[in-house]
Structure 1
Amino acid sequence: MRPLLAVLSGALVSLFLVGTATADADRLRPVPTGTAALTANPIYETGELKPDTCPERPVDNDDFKGATNYLNGLLRCLNTSWKRQFATARLPFSTPKLRVIRHAGVKTGCSEFPESAQAIYCSANKTIVFHLDKKALADVSDLWLFSVLGHEYGHHVQELSGIMTTFDSRRYRTKKDYNAASRRLELQADCLSGAFIGSVWSSLERPASDFSYLRRFEKSSPTHGKAANYSYWLNRGFLAKGPDACNTFAAKSRVS
């Protein structure tokens, strides 16, 4: 999801930019792998998300173009916030792409878009694919679009920080083992979404009931966790306003 004077003066500017890029690269650390990527990731140590504002664009029900613009505006806020976190962690950062679709079944670069999904993250091309169907557009006044995009961006954070790569590279002996690991991955994305929502909450001009409603929205799933645990991790991130609260891979409870 990444989108890419005098001759003497130009040469000096080029040398300056190359030197700056080299200095920035020297400050970066290797992306963690293995167990350390999951339980001791440097992204957990980056503090609260900043900046703390993200005014929502106005959007009407059943307005595909307006909802698409809403999501693109939100994506820019997510990019700004998470770019800072990765700089603090000294990890490489790149922005994801956003593709908005009207119908399921389209090819995404990873697989065909599933009928049951609202949005997916494809790590192969670092793209968030968002399904704006009639149901999603019927009522855009709540925080659902906001939360879903934040969740899928959470998967992008996991991809860049080595968490997703470690999850994908592991061999799971049984479906039960895979589901257990998947729940930790998905509940962490919920927590990261909650952290972003919490960090910009004061700029949203929304009543507390909007967030309370969101916490009751999710259904239980073998790969995504119980609805009560979704609510727990979403709220945990919301209160912390940062990824330090989202280490589900070290958690001993609330990951079923």
Structure 2
Amino acid sequence: MHMRIPLKSLASGALASLMFAGTAHAGVEAEAKQAASYPRVMTSNAIYKTGPLELKTCEEVPVQADDLEGVRVYLEFLLDCLNESWSKQLAKAGIPFVKPKFQVIPRIGPSACGRFPKGAQAVYCWDKRTMVVLLDKALLAEPYELDLMHVIAHEYGHHVQNLTGILPALSRMGRKASEKVRLGHVRRVELQAECMSGAFIGSVWHSLGRKEFDFKYIVKMAQYGDSLSHGKGKNIAHWLKKGWDAEGPQVCNTFKAPKGLVS
């Protein structure tokens, strides 16, 4: 049985600094008002109007157990696909594109995004436009190509959010919000990144030579990923599948979604 890479826990990772740096607390009424009010850059972003992703081919490269260099090369190959795919999408939205920086580390410790958080598989730090992936012994013992694609496509979703202005807006919103409200904001951001991950995987699916069962396995495993920062497992699975079906970000507007789908 292939080991599944756990969904990234950015409540303890680099994105968390956007929302949990403040100490102010608001009352229940203020929480409800703030949770329901998002700026236009989040609710009406141009990226939602760009339709399906255009790239349809990103063939998988087989990876071997205990081969850190081979897995790193595969991730860089996937990154090339993601750059090509999302650069075209951002161009359609009239948004300048910048490639993210990328780093792999073999163990928890210092990284380009600061000390790597325990329990995470990958993080994205928005201020440095950098994603870091942990390739430790546990992962390398039984790497699974589709899981690796899922992980890096999710982190790339955060990069898209950064370039489109969503993450900077999130940072501004978190300065005076209570922890409860901040967690609600973070869940919408994380679930949107999950939807964008699914959109990319769906757009290149027919080039992977896989059966639909393989993706259903990823979705099923996502259902076990309940998290205060990422949402209930059923909602993680919902947004992942929603993006996969649509093959584009037009269905990924979590900031207008009902609370039941972003809890």
Task: Please classify the TM superposition score into its range, dividing by the shorter chain length.
Answer: 0.7 to 0.9
Q: Deviations over 1:164-186 (max 9, x none)?
A: 00001113432111111100000
Tell me what 1:106 maps to: 110
One-letter code aligned to 1:225: G
Tell me what 1:154 maps to: 157
Tell me what 1:243 maps to: 249
| TM-score normalised by length of structure 1 | 0.84
Q: 1:128 aligns with which of 122, 127, 131?
A: 131
Q: Deviations over 1:31-78 (max 9, x none)?
A: xxx711110000011111112000111211221010000000000000
Tell me what 2:239 maps to: 233
Secondary structure in structure 1 of the residue aligned to 2:111: coil
After the TM superposition, which residues 1-256 of structure 1 pair with which residues of structure 2 at under 5 Å, given as runs?
Answer: 35-109=39-113, 111-170=114-173, 171-218=175-222, 219-252=225-258, 253-256=260-263
Instruction: Report percent identity of matched pairs.
Output: 47
- Higher Cα Rg, which structure: 1
Secondary structure in structure 2 of the residue aligned to 1:216: helix
Query: Which consecutive unaligned segments of at least 5 residues does structure 1 have?
Result: 1-33
Tell me what 2:19 maps to: none
Tell me how many residue pairs correspond in the alignment.
222
| TM-score normalised by length of structure 2 | 0.82
One-letter code aligned to 1:123: W
Query: Which consecutive unaligned segments of at least 5 residues does structure 2 have?
Result: 1-37
One-letter code aligned to 2:136: D
2:54/2:85 contact within 8 Å kept = yes
2:87/2:97 contact within 8 Å kept = yes
Tell me: higher relative CO, structure 1 or 2? Use CA pairs within 8 A at least 6 residues apart.
2
Q: Deviations over 1:132-153 (max 9, x none)?
A: 1122222223511110000000
